[in-house]
Amino acid sequence: MAFKSPADVLKSIEDNDIQEVIFSFTDIDGALHAINYESSMVNAKTFSDGVMFDGSSVNGWKAIDESDMALHPDPTTARLNLFCSVPTLTIICDITDPGTGKIYNRDPRGVAKRVEAFVKGTGVVDEVFVGPEPEFYVFDRAAYGVDQHSSFSNVGSSEWLNSDMLYERHSLSHYMEANGGYLATSPRDLGAEMRSKMMAALKSMDVIVEKHHHETAPGQHEIGIKYNTLVLAADDVQMLKDVVKNVAKSYGRSATFMPKPVQDQNGSGMHVHHSLWKNGKPIFAGERYAGLSQTCLWYIGGVMKHVKALNAFANPSTNSYRRLVPGFEAPVLVAYSSRNRSAACRIPCTTSPKGKRVEFRFPDAAANPYLANSAIVMAGMDGIINQIEPGEAMDMDLYKLPPTERNKIPHVCGSLREALDSLDNDRDFLKVGGVFDDDLIDAYIELKKEEVEWLEKSPTPGEFVKYYSV
């Protein structure tokens, strides 16, 4: 289904006997929220006036004395929901403040729209394209909990050697070694059929999918979706997360985009490919290093300059920094290179100027895709506007450098607390053109510091192992 206007949506509701319409939106944390309406209650006024809801019940949003907010459905995002028992449409919404009638400044999708308007206004760029690659784990068993007297987590996959999963889930002894699952095939890959279902579901929702495959760790997977404009790419990531979790559930399994759910295994990233275009032509292609343009090198320079502030959005959980450690293919060193996957910024090999792009490898799948990519674009644009040079490329394997040499290369943040402090001290590039503002940044920092402080006060099972008998 392809919709261009509210009238298209209303006609489809009538023609296809749609019973319910789900209005969904994304909060500052990146979590999806939704409200279901009986289809007869949806009309032209729904699209023009919006749907009222309580903004004070959403983390990081309105105070209770100014809680009224409105969902404004974007008709172009309407899709048939495959996981409902009755015919149902899901529509992604923007958030407006009824007091001003304007897009709410803390609405992540609104931030991404402001980025698109800003870059066009510079005269340098017409379009920003983003290609996200979210990775995820699927477990046959997942349980966890914490209270005043106990904390635990327990996950299991029948792809693991020595797994204690039920025999009917076992892969007839075709187990997968630790970090030995990249592009594995059946019968070692137990998720191929499930990923095909995920891919088919996304395709039916007009998300352009390219491929799927098993990732490096047992139980780890990736579905590749095609690049899109900044806002629509983030929409696609949110739909992908929803589809992955629901299809896994239908198989009796549990999917997670948590960056590091398994100790001593590769974490799940969300590498993002960025490219800029003007007048229908790619402006990242040129005659400089690896076939890049000077503009692209400045874009890289801006991202590298602000990377620690970007970590706050691109790596927004304490668990993110358990992934960003040496030894598990995580890009902890702030460098750029052609094809080198040990660098935080990689230039993929391509034979066409249209395919010239930059891959940023430090973001993870816990990130809010609207805010993370918006922040990266703003850093890159700061690099272009102020002609920030990225320095020399690093074409060697950075993991194998001697410690004295490796320590000379800037590192990403080592903790969420460091990332939030970096964002607090380096925020001006985000506020150019009114894209982000202090209110949003302060609210985000406050929300995330609450997480940090709660977790810092919570003993972990690992701490009992190390310190109980001291």
Strands 345-347, 336-338: pairing is parallel
Higher per-residue confidence, 148 vs 34: 34
Number of helices and strands (H, E) in the chain? 14, 19
Angle at 111 between CA 101 and CA 74, to 5 degrees: 60
Report cis status (omega within 30 of 0) of the bond before 187.
yes
Please tell me which residue in 107, 159, 189, 222 is annotated as part of the active site.
Answer: 222
What pLDDT was estimated at residue 167?
A: 47
Q: Which CATH number fits domain 6-104: 3.10.20.70, 3.30.1330.200, 3.40.109.10, 3.40.50.1370?
A: 3.10.20.70
Known catalytic residue at 133: yes
Total residue length of the chain:
470
Query: What pTM did the predictor assign?
Result: 0.94
User: Minimal CA–CA distance to 60: which of 409, 364, 275, 371?
Assistant: 371
What pLDDT was estimated at residue 240?
A: 97
pLDDT tier for residue 97 given thresholds of 50, 70 and 90: confident
Known catalytic residue at 79: no
Least confident residue range of 79-83, 210-214, 231-235, 397-401? 397-401
The residue with tokens 């002894």 is: 173
Distance CA 219, CA 141 (A): 11
Q: Where are the domains of the chain?
A: 6-104, 127-467
Higher per-residue confidence, 463 vs 315: 315
Task: Kindly give the interhelix angle for 307-314 and 294-305, rounded to the nearest 10 degrees.
Answer: 70
Please tell me which residue in 141, 188, 322, 341 is annotated as part of the active site.
Answer: 341
Distance CA 125, CA 122 (A): 7
Is the pLDDT at 24 greater than 90? The verdict is yes
Cβ atoms of residues 252 and 327 within 8 Å:
no
Q: CB within 8 A of 136, min separation 6: which ones?
A: 220, 221, 222, 244, 255, 256, 257, 268, 365
Please tell me which residue in 54, 177, 446, 456 is annotated as part of the active site.
Answer: 54
Distance CA 254, CA 165 (A): 14
pLDDT digits (tens, 9 = 90+) for 249-283: 999 999 999 999 998 888 999 999 999 999 999 99
Distance CA 190, CA 185 (A): 8
pLDDT digits (tens, 9 = 90+) for 412-451: 999 999 999 999 999 999 999 999 999 999 999 999 999 9
What pLDDT was estimated at residue 341?
A: 67
Three-state secondary-structure class, residue 382: helix
Known catalytic residue at 33: no
Protein fold of 127-467: Creatine Kinase; Chain A, domain 2 (3.30.590)
Q: Quick one: three-class SS letters along 35-65?
A: EEEEHHHCCHHHHHHCEEEEHHHCCCCCCHH
Report phi then psi at 197, rounded to 5. -65, -40
Torsion of CA 35, 38, 41, 44, to 10 degrees: 70
Known catalytic residue at 287: no
What pLDDT was estimated at residue 330?
A: 76
Task: Kindly give the interhelix angle for 416-425 and 307-314, rounded to the nearest 10 degrees.
Answer: 120
Please tell me which residue in 107, 235, 242, 359 is annotated as part of the active site.
Answer: 359
Higher per-residue confidence, 175 vs 3: 3
Is the pLDDT at 170 greater than 80? The verdict is no
Known catalytic residue at 361: yes
Known catalytic residue at 215: yes
Is the pLDDT at 150 greater than 90? The verdict is no
Q: Which helix (H) or strand (E) holds 383?
A: helix 369-385
Please tell me which residue in 79, 306, 357, 361 is annotated as part of the active site.
Answer: 361
Is the pLDDT at 155 greater than 50? The verdict is yes
Please tell me which residue in 133, 159, 235, 382 is annotated as part of the active site.
Answer: 133
